[in-house]
Amino acid sequence: MKIEDNIGTVDYFGEHRKVFMDTDGAKEGDYVYAQGGVLIRTVPEKEALETLEFWKERFFELKKVDARLSKVHDSQTSNAILAILQKVNLKRALTKEDMSALYKVTKPEELKLIYETANSTRQKENDNACCVHGILEFSNHCRNDCSYCGIRKSSSIKRYRMTVDEIIKNAEYAVKELGFKALVLQSGEDTWYDEKKLVEIVRRIRKMGVLIFISIGARSKELYRKVYEAGARAVLLRFETSNREIFENLRPGTSFEERIDLIKYVKSLGYVVATGFIVGLPGETDNDLINNILLTKSLGADMHSFGPLIPAEGTPLEDERLPDKQKVLKTIAISRFADREAKILVTTALETLDRKTRKEGLLAGANSIMINVTPPEYRELYIIYPNRADKDKDIKENIKQTTDLLYSIGRAPTDIGL
């Protein structure tokens, strides 16, 4: 690694990447681990050489597979769709009308071309890296009463809260035993975790040399600032929908403006930002989805996070219909066209819609995945929506399945093990 001002240049098999020097006195020539453009920790030479040795051949092998799968094949497609995809290839911005035309596509050959173009764009701009973050759901208490959410305040589910020590213990297991280098700490909006507790949690986990994402809902700006100072470097906070009317209907007592303002604020603090929306809320149109994609981009999202509504029992939306899988895949592809270099998540909700869709999402422009590391006795109570794809998956088994899937399509998992 080389350093100038506060920016380091990391050499990764001949590729040079810039990182923000955030930590522990790393010097030129050190081996380091970086994530999301942030330096997370230095790595002892022996460990680094072992890792590089492991990756040396596999790295180029995987790239070859990815390049092969990222080819765009000729197919029967209308000129109008071809013209839009040609714009994508020329790196020109799509208009809302273009995006709307893509949402209207139903023919399998045309869908295939859209997904292949998105996958090829992902490969050209981002190569074959795929983030694999662990997610720990530490409390299902929530002060909000959102109509879509299974852990809303008025749900009569059994509630749990992990103690600070329990959170640390689980984080330690995820980092030391399972090898995660990026961890999302998620909960309902639970004020039992005040500034003091959150700062302690973040400080202690940061010492493990891991990128900490917090996903704790709309808390005060001051709290987000203190938690940044304690060492958290990423925030996952969706705006849920860009349609103010739908927002206000479904999220009583909360304000769209305040949520957007908070996302902008955490971005301004220097957090890596993951944000996004739910696909398939009642009353939502394709135009809303397009506005959602554009809002995600304009908020400077480093990572796009969206998934289908899975109607949750006992909530006002329990009888809603599941959105069409193609709609979510198209949203991934169009997000990729709108924000070529972003990370785009394949969410558990998408996998819940259809177990095979993780792979389809990754081949339609996505390049990020999360693995649940919540202990089973709590995971079964974190029922934001029912039948979650990861509900009964053993953590190690899930890691294996995920890395096997990634290897099979030529992707290099970046934040796990090895």
Instruction: Quote the CA–CA distance of 73 and 344 in Å, as a whole number.
Output: 23
Q: Is residue 345 left, alpha or beta, with left meaning phi > 0 and alpha meaning psi from -120 to 50?
A: beta
Residue 98 vs 240, nearer CB to ligand 5AD: 240
Which candidate, 281, 368, 385, places its Cα nearest to that of 332? 368
CB-based contact 281:247 (threshold 8 Å): no
- The residue (of 312 and 399) whose beta carbon lies closer to ligand 5AD is 312
DSSP label at 176? I
Choice between 111 and 384, CB closer to ligand 5AD: 384
Are 88 and 82 in contact, with CB atoms under 8 Å apart? no
Minimum gap (Å) between residue 366 Cβ and ligand 5AD:
16
Query: What are phi and psi for residue 266, nearest 5 degrees?
Result: -65, -35
* 261, two tokens: 């303002």
Q: Residue 195: is it exposed, middle or buried by C-beta count within 10 angstroms (0-12/13-18/19+)?
A: middle
| 172 or 390: CB nearest ligand 5AD | 390
Report which secondary-structure segment, H or E, holds 208.
Answer: none
Angle between helices 108-126 and 325-338 (to 10 degrees): 40
Give just the sign of the alpha carbon dihedral 247, 132, 327, 322. negative
Q: 209 burial class (0-12, 13-18, 19+ CB within 10 angstroms)?
A: middle
Tokens of 209: 């040399």
Q: How far apart are CA 339 and CA 228, in angstroms?
A: 26
Residue 47: exposure state from Cβ atoms within 10 A (0-12, 13-18, ≥19): exposed
**Which CB atom, from 179 or from 316, has the smaller least distance to ligand 5AD?**
316
Residue 255 CB, nearest distance to ligand 5AD (Å)? 16
Which residue's CB is nearer to ligand 5AD, number 228 or number 247? 247
Residues that bind ligand 5AD (CB under 6 A): 148-150, 238, 240, 278, 307, 309-310, 312, 349, 384-385
> Cβ of residue 213: shortest distance to ligand 5AD, in angstroms?
12
Q: Would you say 151 or 202 has its CB closer to ligand 5AD?
A: 151
Residue 342 C-beta: closest distance to ligand 5AD, Å = 18
**Minimum distance between the CB of residue 344 and ligand 5AD, rounded to whole angstroms?**
15
| Shortest distance, position 292 Cβ to ligand 5AD, whole Å | 11
Smallest distance from ligand 5AD to CB 229, Å: 25
CB nearer to ligand 5AD: give 8 or 280.
280
Min separation Cβ 385 and ligand 5AD, Å: 4
